[in-house]
Amino acid sequence: MEVAKWSALPVLDITRLEAGPDERAAFLDELRRTTHDLGFFYLTGHGIDPDLIRRMLALSRRFFALPEQDKLAIEMVNSPHFRGYTRVGRERTRGMEDWREQIDIGAERPALGISPDLPAWTRLQGPNQWPAALPELREVVLQYQATAANLAIRLIRAFALALGQPENIFDPVLSPDPHQLLKIIRYPGRDLTKGDQGVGAHKDGGFVTILLQDVQEGLQVEYKDTWISAPPVVGTFVINIGELLEMASNGYLRATVHRAITPPAGNDRLSIGYFFSARLDASVPLLELPPALHQAERGLTQDALNPLFYEVGKNLLKSRLRSHPDVAQRHHADLLGPTNP
């Protein structure tokens, strides 16, 4: 058995980008090496207000403490745009139940409609569902989304530089309306679930994921033949690349498989995932990497259950149809083949 190079996620400080040419070059080299091999790291120096983070976590706790009828009033199955609350066990990863409850919130934009004359991806855009019993959640979430989006763009530009590209090379597929998804997630303890799969092994579909963890660990990252635990580290976010960066770099950067295990009995786990993608109508550009990096391209991951599409909207929609079969059946049956759930 090969001994893994990584036994823990490294910590990268994004302020090094502004610390002079030598420090900037060293940071970009570390970023490139880390995400080529592992694909995950802790980020410090991100500049997001700690008070905003505290308010997000506190309001998330208050949301999950609401009576069930208040949460079900915004149940996702009522939204053709895959927005709203999902009760424990209703989302699936690779066909298996995920033992978590969550609320999915996207960018606050008007619906584009559902019509045979429109591309299927247009169904992903639309208004959010907000809990009437916790009206203050909206303002704080939208503020958090805006700050997370700014951080995501800084990271994507750093990835571009690390790959030997102009830092703004991805701007045309991001502007003016990048797709965003925020998931506020609670994993109940093992005594309240039917299994250990908080969320099953998967890859993220966008450009970059910014994960805020509370205090209970549960995230695990696949590396070669082992799983690396990624417990919460105060003051950091966990960052990982998604499928869009894998496609843009022809596998030089690879979206890494990860999972969340159910907390021990008597505990729960809270996390907030922010998933930043390109515009839904965009296609991911295939970068021409410098010769030294080009030689290390691995090509795209081949997975019959998770094909990759350069069309951004198509790539994101396939994941939502698969993970939320109740929403797919109610609102998008015309997109489902005979073998779909």
- In the chain, domain spans: 11-335
Q: Quick one: residue 166, left, alpha or beta (phi over 0 = left, psi -120 to 50 = alpha)?
A: beta
Work out the burial of residue 127: count CB atoms within 10 Å of its CB; fewer than 13 is exposed, 13-18 middle, 19 or more buried. middle
pLDDT of residue 338: 55
Cα Rg for the chain, rounded, in angstroms?
19
pLDDT of residue 3: 41
Query: What CA–CA distance (Å, rounded) separates 181 from 201?
Result: 19
Please state the separation of Cα 108 from the chain's center in Å.
Answer: 18
Contacts of 18 (CB under 8 A, 6+ apart): 24
pLDDT of residue 177: 93
- Residue 42 backbone dihedrals phi, psi, to 5 degrees: -85, 140
pLDDT of residue 299: 95
Opening angle at CA 214, ends 210 and 216, nearest 5: 120
Per-residue confidence of the chain (341 residues) as pLDDT tens digits? Answer: 344 489 999 999 999 999 999 999 999 999 999 999 999 999 999 999 999 999 999 999 999 999 999 999 999 999 999 999 999 999 999 889 999 999 999 999 999 988 889 999 999 999 999 999 999 999 999 999 999 999 999 999 999 999 999 999 999 999 999 999 999 999 999 999 999 999 999 999 999 999 999 999 999 999 998 999 999 999 999 999 999 999 999 999 989 999 999 999 999 999 999 999 999 999 999 999 999 999 999 999 888 888 899 999 999 999 999 999 999 999 999 999 754 43
CB 44 within 8 A of CB 236: yes
pLDDT of residue 305: 81
pTM score, two decimals?
0.96
Instruction: Please report how many Cα atoms fall inside a 13 Å half-sphere around the Cα of residue 86, on the Cβ side.
Output: 27
CATH 2.30.30.240 for the 11-335 domain, yes or no: no
Pairing of strands 197-202, 226-229: unpaired
Please state the separation of Cα 180 from the chain's center in Å.
Answer: 9
DSSP letter assigned to residue 77: G
Q: Tokens 């009522």 — which residue?
A: 78
Opening angle at CA 150, ends 297 and 296, nearest 5: 5
- What DSSP string describes 257-296? PEEEEPPPTT--EEEEEEEE---TT-B-------HHHHTT
pLDDT of residue 2: 40
Q: Which two tokens stand for residue 247?
A: 């496609």
pLDDT of residue 50: 97
Please state the separation of Cα 296 from the chain's center in Å.
Answer: 25
